[in-house]
Structure 1
């Protein structure tokens, strides 16, 4: 089944862009990034920002990201995929990352949420002397690394927001 991602959440305050692969079924159904209750994204980025984003309603989460200069999108615009796992992605169509980035004058850092996002995103962006690119462990519950191990790596994002 062909699945199409969500619109980017960015504005002229965006200094850090977090890129996933393609939203899972729960996110697509809710039209909200990282909607699966077991996905650690909101707890991880909330920890980076020093806020309990997980406890907030989705619009308030998005607003907090914007205030902090954090944007969200995905590296895959659409793909054939049964279920929600990255391993099931087939015939991906790349998102126009360079087009999006061209409209973000304050952007300094792009971070990839998971291996598929990093692989595809780095392929799309190529070498960029103007941006810092960071690979992160996936926030997905399918990747069983303990939360604290993921958080220790994600915590480095705080340095990019200063």
Structure 2
């Protein structure tokens, strides 16, 4: 799937590879038990899980947040990251080079971090953040996951802050 959210991102959140529900719906984090929208919403102070998908992407764009995946092509039976075989990474370095306002890249889970960090290499000026997976297969409690995801809040551009100085 193509990157979604902001075209001028300051924060890029990378998953590993969309699961079956997401591929079928052509929407990021479409599985109803995936905690992604709830975790991200909690970290930026918005209830993203309570609004429609198009509105979610609009909110991400307003906050200069983009979504993508580290894997562009692979074979996998089912939706578990452990079943990914023959992964070819997306062109993450090219994305970072074209998005010069990018301040941070967050990896949603260990597989995304492992593949993404290898594909990106040394990326000067961009903070790399490993997060616990939002997947329901990763059984850490929401509260424990949220303790780590909350660090994305200050990295998300605040539209209201841009107008305060005017």
Partner of 1:30: 25
Deviates more, 1:10-19 or 1:46-55: 10-19
1:156 counterpart residue number: 151
1:81-133 deviations in Å (ceiling 9; x for gaps): 00000000000111000111121121000000000000000001111221000
Distance 1:110 1:94 in 2: 15
Q: What CA RMSD, in Å, does the superposition of the two structures yield over aligned residues?
A: 1.0
Is the 8 Å Cα contact of residues 12 and 105 (structure 1) preserved in structure 2?
A: no
What TM-score does the superposition give when structure 2 sets the normalisation length?
A: 0.92
- Give yes or no for contact 1:12–1:106 (8 Å, CA) kept in 2: no
Residue 9 of structure 2 is matched in structure 1 by 14
For the 8 Å contact 2:6–2:62, the answer to whether it is kept is no
Q: Helix, strand or coil for the counterpart of 2:150?
A: helix
Larger Rg: 2
Q: Deviations over 1:61-97 (max 9, x none)?
A: 0010110111000000010000000000000111000
Gaps of 5+ in 2: 158-166
1:128 match = 123
What is the aligned length? 157
Q: Among 132, 138, 153, which residue is 1:137 paired with?
A: 132
Partner residue in 2 for 1:118: 113
Which runs of at least 4 in structure 1 moved beyond 2 Å after TM superposition?
10-13
Q: Which moved more, 1:78-87 or 1:9-18?
A: 9-18
Say if 1:111 and 1:134, in contact at 8 Å, map to a contact too.
Answer: yes
TM-score by structure 1 length? 0.94
Give the aligned partner of residue 47 of structure 1: 42
**Structure 1, unpaired ranges of 5+:** 1-5
